Amino acid sequence: MDDLSTLFSLNNWPGHLSYVLIAISYWLTEIFWLRVVAVVGLALEIVYFLLSGGDLRTGIGWDLVFIMINLYQLSRLVQDRLSLRLPENDRALLRRALTGLNDWQIVRLLNAGALCDLPTGTRLAEENQALEKLYFLCAGRVGVTIGGRDVSELEEGNFVGEVAFLTERPATATVIAKTECRALAFDSDKLKRFFQNETEVAGLIYQLIGRELAHKIKLSNTLLAGEPRAIEGAAPSAAQSNPV
């Protein structure tokens, strides 16, 4: 009982809290908050060492080294985030279209591509032709044709060229802007290099692509089963889409 009382004595609580925070930091995936929690945890560990007594200069010294490293990296992250701002005119559009990404992640993604205006009639993809760009529609509508047959339309929140991007094979459909469009355009090679350094953003984008592909494949199977929605007479919804 005495040992248990000693273990949870007031002097030991900074140590318990320190190690809990350090353990939590190992679970965090957002690097900014990981470093913040690590700094607080290490600072509490120093308090614990001081309250414990004895010669603990080695442990305190190494904790100070770890804190300085994390503070340096935190200062870089803060400067990076303060210097990055979403374009004011497109802020609401980007936040709505890229649900799941915070402003900083969206700005980082913009560094790998560019917002562009696509006039009506612009060809974003050509069936059986190599596709060097991946598009993410932020506004407007495009039509998708396969073998000269209209199969669907895509709107805000849809990718164009995701299959070609993932497989590095020619486009599986022709995609033409039916209205003026606003889109994020990515050079495929540049985007892949970007993903190598931005694994968190890459994971979120691949999740968006995977979710969209799964939905498109499901609808394609419905069409093949002879249950397509009417295409003539009314424009199909954005959900009626095939992988490109």
Burial grade of 68 (CB within 10 A; 0-12, 13-18, 19 or more)? exposed
Q: Look at the block and give the residue holding tokens 């010294």.
A: 61
| Predicted structure pTM score | 0.57
Largest CA distance in the chain: 84
What are the residue ranges in the chain where pLDDT is below 70? Answer: 1-13, 15, 27-29, 54-55, 58, 80-84, 219-244
For residue 168, what pLDDT is reported? 85
Token code pair at residue 119: 């006039």
The alpha carbon of 116 is separated from its chain's Cα centroid by a whole number of angstroms, namely 20
Domains of the chain: 2-83 (no CATH), 88-224 (2.60.120.10)
Helices (H) and strands (E) in the chain, counts: 9, 8
For residue 63, what pLDDT is reported? 82
Token code pair at residue 87: 């374009």
For residue 146, what pLDDT is reported? 87
For residue 125, what pLDDT is reported? 92
Task: State whether residue 159 is helix, strand or coil.
Answer: strand
